Amino acid sequence: MNRFPLPFVLVALLSCYGPVAAQSFVANYDETQVPAYELPDPLRTESGQPVDSPQQWEAQRRGEILDLFRSQVFGRSPDPISVEHRIVGTDRQALGGKAIRRDFDVTLRRGDRSLTFAMLVYSPQTDEPVPAFLGLNFQGNHTIEADPAIRITSSWVRARNDGSTAGNQALAAGRGIRSAAWPVEMIIDRGYGLATIYYGDIDPDFDDGFENGIHPLFADWAESVEPGQRWGSIAGWAYGLSRALDVLDSDPRIDGSRVAVIGHSRLGKTSLWAGASDERFKLVISNNSGCGGAALSRRAFGETVGRINTAFPHWFCRNHHRYNENESELPVDHHQLLALIAPRAVYVASASEDLWADPRGEFLACVHADPVYRLLGTDGLGGEAAPEKMPAADQPLLEGSIGYHLRSGGHALTEYDWSQYLTFADRHL
Ligand code: GCU
């Protein structure tokens, strides 16, 4: 007779893999249960030498950390390729005459394959180039503003039960439904441009073995990369952001040297990776990015490495799965992702009810990135960077080159968040 009933054995076996592990996962939300951990020191080389000059950071240490994030976390991305773009629609009187709205087609071509994504660009009524925010959106460009002239994506979208989609197809009923996350008028009034792209135009967000989206364009190149280090979807989205910056950089209405990359949640993880891997982004904003973004993986608070790789196996590279329930073996942690952005400005925002994203772990990443910012001659977090200095809700830290706030409320990108980003951008762009 079996010692264990068959269903028990099956569940136990399956829980090592895929979906069952995701279902049976229980998040830790108890600070006293956070495991003891030691963070990799951003200011010590892989061979253990102290890094004590900006030159040594630039010439050696930054490259080591960047390479570890490529090989162990996000995967390696191809070198930039040139992009084509054309403007397919212009409204010189958008937002009641305040703004110019342009709708771009941006095309990447390689061999006989190509990928085109739509980029929507708002800019103020001026002929001077303006600083701008660039961010991916979750549901389509038409969802950020209720303007009937904005094209509706034909790419795969997540099916929703609010009438904004029919299966995986976006519908006109979704026009403007995400406008609360994109206060375009406020951004324009402050003198900034805004460029946004539907992330699914770059890579549809489901696990299909990288058959669709941007990855097949580089399939032959990917063959040359060790399988565990091949790029996942986050790296694909970040690559798209860099190609979008290529276009903005050549645009007379936008000042390409003053572009902030912004993203919420999985797209906050993406903006951090875009900003870490492409030094042209002058300011990098992570809104509630959590695990795999600004939060320290070793805390395993809320979402963990194992949970994220199980639920979203396509986001990171395969090597990242080695650290499922094994965070202490990760050769990096996410304070070093922030440090890769130094000395450029970075802003990390958490929300008090968004425990899944580990607000404290996001703040601690800022604290532990601070020494790199200081070494590079900036004032880091502004005041004293210490774990006990985590600000209370709605008390933003805006003085240094690392900005941080804990907004009261849940997981979202809100007008409150944007108003802090605009103030911070006024100082850094
Ligand atoms: C899930 C996921 C998070 C992610 C979030 C989002 O909650 O677990 O890691 O940030 O989706 O992108 O909305």
User: What is the chain's pLDDT, residue by residue, as a tens digit (429 residues)?
Assistant: 333 333 333 333 333 334 444 568 999 999 999 999 999 999 999 999 999 999 999 999 999 999 999 999 999 999 999 999 999 999 999 999 999 999 999 999 999 999 999 999 999 999 999 999 999 999 999 999 999 999 999 999 999 999 999 999 999 999 999 999 999 999 999 999 999 999 999 999 999 999 999 999 999 999 999 999 999 999 999 999 999 999 999 999 999 999 999 999 999 999 999 999 999 999 999 999 999 999 999 999 999 999 999 999 999 999 999 999 999 999 999 999 999 999 999 999 999 999 999 999 999 999 999 999 999 999 999 999 999 999 999 999 999 999 999 999 999 999 999 999 999 999 999
Mutation test residue for ligand 1: of 265, 286, 305, the one with most atoms within 8 Å of CB: 265
> What Rg do the C-alpha atoms of the chain give, in angstroms?
21
Ligand 1 lined by 233 (C-beta under 6 Å): no
Mutation test residue for ligand 1: of 139, 160, 320, 356, the one with most atoms within 8 Å of CB: 356
Ligand 1 lined by 308 (C-beta under 6 Å): yes
Catalytic site includes residue 265: yes
How far is the centre of ligand 1, averaged over its atoms, from the C-alpha of 356 (Å)?
9
How far is the centre of ligand 1, averaged over its atoms, from the C-alpha of 419 (Å)?
23
Coil vs helix vs strand at 373: helix
Which residue in the list 15, 321, 352, 411 is annotated as catalytic? 411
Distance, CA of 362 to chain centre: 13
Ligand 1 lined by 300 (C-beta under 6 Å): no
C-alpha pair distances (Å), 225 with each of 70, 220, 230, 312: 11, 10, 6, 21
Mutation test residue for ligand 1: of 160, 199, 266, the one with most atoms within 8 Å of CB: 266
How far is the centre of ligand 1, averaged over its atoms, from the C-alpha of 1 (Å)?
44
Ligand 1 lined by 303 (C-beta under 6 Å): yes
Ligand 1 lined by 265 (C-beta under 6 Å): yes
Which residue in the list 155, 164, 242, 265 is annotated as catalytic? 265
DSSP code of residue 44: B
Cα gap 179→172, rounded to integer Å: 14
43-428, what's its fold?
Answer: Rossmann fold (3.40.50)
The pLDDT value given to residue 270: 99
Cα gap 407→151, rounded to integer Å: 33
What amino acid occupies position 74?
F
The pLDDT value given to residue 23: 61
Both tokens of 190, joined, read 């402050």
Exposure string for 105-137, b = 16+ CB within 10 A, e = fewer? ebebebeeeebebbbbbbbbeeeebbbbbbbbb
Cα gap 273→337, rounded to integer Å: 7
The pLDDT value given to residue 24: 87
Query: What are residue 199's DSSP bridge partners?
Result: none
How far is the centre of ligand 1, averaged over its atoms, from the C-alpha of 238 (Å)?
16
Taking the domains of the chain in order of start, what are their residue ranges? 43-428
The pTM of this model reads: 0.95
Catalytic site includes residue 321: no
Query: Which of these, 336, 347, 398, lies nearest to 369 by C-alpha position?
Result: 336
Distance, CA of 247 to chain centre: 20
